[in-house]
Structure formats: structure tokens, C-alpha cells
């Protein structure tokens, strides 16, 4: 009996720590200094769409705060009219992680320029989930909500837009692009999948190109092991229960069996971070899709 009680106590302690893994910020007051203009991203996406008969774009919601308004756009690449493998790429849920946004936009531009390369896939790309945060280089939205912990509560307008866009959809692969200001190297999460072969190949390729991979990231009981964080399904369900669900957790629980989060270290130059993310996306496409 004592050992059972001790085990239960340990589980409760671990789960409590999980619930405290991340939090929100106080409401932002005043007007932060503008760092980036969202219309620069919009122009690049619009140019890609206008250059290709296989690309289209829709506004899935408009983020509206005092003195700020910006659309959240979803770009779709469809070469064979819905007969391809379905992929979703999202980025910019944290506004101070710009490499993922640039990677997503570059992918859109590549789809326009080299459609034959991607002819077997149907892509949805949401390049900037958090346009206010991206514009001001702030992790949170204007209300201080960490959108990447809001996919159970859906208090933010941004999370609601994503939920409605993917409602009823299933994907063969979903990738969320992130950055880590404290990491020394590249790493990735995979969620609720026992096979790490492709993830290991990604890490090996990153290393072969001379980039560092992270060994010391620790998310309570989840730690990097040679650049990979292997997140179990029970952890995802608990994060939902504690209303701390991330966008990738939400994807895995509802829309795909193959979900990854890519993390690049912001201490490295932008072009290096873009190369790492682009390589990883290409390898996941080749390694996971049927």
C-alpha cells in the first residue's frame, strides 16, 4: 500500500509540474516599438499566389486590437485537385521566433516556382499565427496570452482562427515551426509516435552540415535525447486536461498521427536557422508521408 501511495504522489507531483510548464503574460499596455511590418509578409505571399495557378490564399480571421489589425492568412497549394498527400505547415505562434515565418514564406515561394517538385502534396501554410506578436517581436499576443498554451481554452482569437480552419480536416503530416532563445542547437519534438528513425535522420543531417544539435533542453520530465524530444500521448492528454495545450499537441490529438515541432536556436544567424528548418521540413516530407 505504501508503494502505491508513493507512486501516486509522484505522479501527482509530475503532473503538477507539467501544468506549470509555461504561462501567460500580463496584458500589454501602451504601444510597443514596431519591429517588423506584417504587410511585407503579405506582399510576398500575394506575389507567390499571383505567380502560380496552383496556389490560392484566404483570410481565416482578422486579429483586431486597439490600434492594430491584421489578417491571418492560409495559403493552399493544390496541384492535383485534392488527390495529393495533405500537409500543414504553421509558424509564428510565438512572435519572437521569426525564422519559422521566413521558412514558411520561402516554402510558399518555392511552391510557386517549382510546382512539379511538390505535385504529390496538398499544402496548407499558415505563415503567421500571431501577427501582433510577430510585428512587435513579442512571444505573446496583445492580451498577454501565450497562444501556444491556448489550444484547450481557446481564449485567444488567434487560436480560434486555427481551430476553425482545421476543423474536420485530416493531414498526413503537420509541422509547427519554432525557435528557442536559450538553446545551443537545433532540436525537434515528435508526438505520440514510436518510430524515431526519420527524426534521427534529420538530426544526423543537421550535424553533417556542421550545425549544433541541442542536448540540454528539459521540459519537466521530457528531455532532448540526441536532439529529439519524444512526447508521449499521455502527456498531451494531460496538457489538454490542465488547459495548457500547444498548437502541435492540438494537431496530434485531433488532426494527424505525424506531427513535429522544429526548434532552431536564435543565437545563430537567420540564414543558418532557415537552412536547418528547410532541411528538416524536406526530410520529414520525404520520410513520413506514404
Residues 240-287: tens digit of each pLDDT: 999 999 999 999 999 999 999 999 999 999 999 999 999 999 999 887
Residue 163 in contact with residue 60, Cβ under 8 Å? Answer: no
Per-residue model confidence as pLDDT tens digits over 46-79: 999 999 999 999 999 999 999 999 999 999 999 9
Cα separation, 290 vs 124, whole angstroms: 18
Q: Say if residue 136's pLDDT is above 80.
A: yes
pTM: 0.91
CATH tag, 30-288: 3.40.630.10
Cα separation, 50 vs 59, whole angstroms: 16
Average per-residue pLDDT for the chain: 89
For the beta carbon of residue 208, count every other beta carbon within 10 angstroms.
9
C-alpha cell at 38: 506584417
DSSP-assigned letter for residue 272: H
Residue 131 in contact with residue 137, Cβ under 8 Å? Answer: no
* Bridge pairing between strands 85-91 and 121-126: parallel
Dihedral sign, Cα of residue 280, residue 89, residue 148, residue 249: negative
Q: Provide the β-strand partners of residue 6.
A: none
C-alpha cell at 82: 485534392
| 3-state SS class at 214 | coil
261 closest CA partner among 214, 212, 221, 220: 214
C-alpha cell at 268: 545563430
Amino acid at each position: 500500500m505504501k508503494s502505491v501511495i508513493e507512486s501516486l504522489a509522484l505522479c501527482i507531483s509530475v503532473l503538477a509540474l507539467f501544468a506549470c510548464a509555461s504561462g501567460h503574460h500580463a496584458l500589454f499596455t501602451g504601444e510597443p516599438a514596431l519591429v517588423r511590418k506584417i504587410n511585407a509578409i503579405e506582399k510576398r505571399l500575394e506575389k507567390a499566389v499571383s505567380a502560380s495557378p496552383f496556389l490560392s490564399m484566404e483570410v481565416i480571421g482578422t486579429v483586431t486590437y486597439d490600434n492594430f489589425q491584421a489578417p491571418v492568412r492560409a495559403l493552399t497549394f493544390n496541384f492535383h485537385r485534392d488527390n495529393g498527400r495533405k500537409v500543414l505547415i504553421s509558424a509564428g505562434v510565438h512572435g519572437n521566433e521569426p525564422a519559422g515565418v521566413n521558412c514558411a514564406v520561402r516554402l510558399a515561394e518555392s511552391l510557386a516556382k517549382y510546382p512539379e517538385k511538390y505535385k504529390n502534396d496538398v499544402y496548407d501554410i499558415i505563415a503567421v499565427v500571431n501577427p501582433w506578436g510577430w510585428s512587435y517581436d513579442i512571444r505573446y499576443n496583445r492580451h498577454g496570452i501565450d497562444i501556444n498554451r491556448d489550444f484547450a481554452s481557446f481564449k485567444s482569437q488567434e487560436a480560434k482562427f486555427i481551430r476553425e480552419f482545421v476543423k474536420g480536416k485530416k493531414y498526413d503530416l503537420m509541422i509547427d515551426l519554432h525557435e528557442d532563445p536559450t538553446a545551443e542547437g537545433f532540436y525537434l519534438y515528435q508526438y505520440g509516435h514510436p518510430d524515431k528513425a526519420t527524426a534521427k535522420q534529420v538530426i544526423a543531417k543537421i550535424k553533417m552540415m556542421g550545425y549544433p544539435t541541442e542536448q540540454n533542453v528539459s521540459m519537466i520530465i521530457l528531455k532532448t535525447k540526441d536532439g529529439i524530444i519524444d512526447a508521449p500521448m499521455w502527456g498531451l492528454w494531460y496538457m489538454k486536461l490542465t488547459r495548457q495545450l500547444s498548437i502541435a499537441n492540438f494537431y496530434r490529438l485531433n488532426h494527424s498521427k505525424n506531427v513535429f515541432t522544429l526548434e532552431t536556436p536564435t543565437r545563430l544567424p537567420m540564414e543558418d536557422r532557415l537552412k536547418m528548418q528547410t532541411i528538416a521540413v524536406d526530410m520529414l516530407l520525404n520520410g513520413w508521408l506514404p
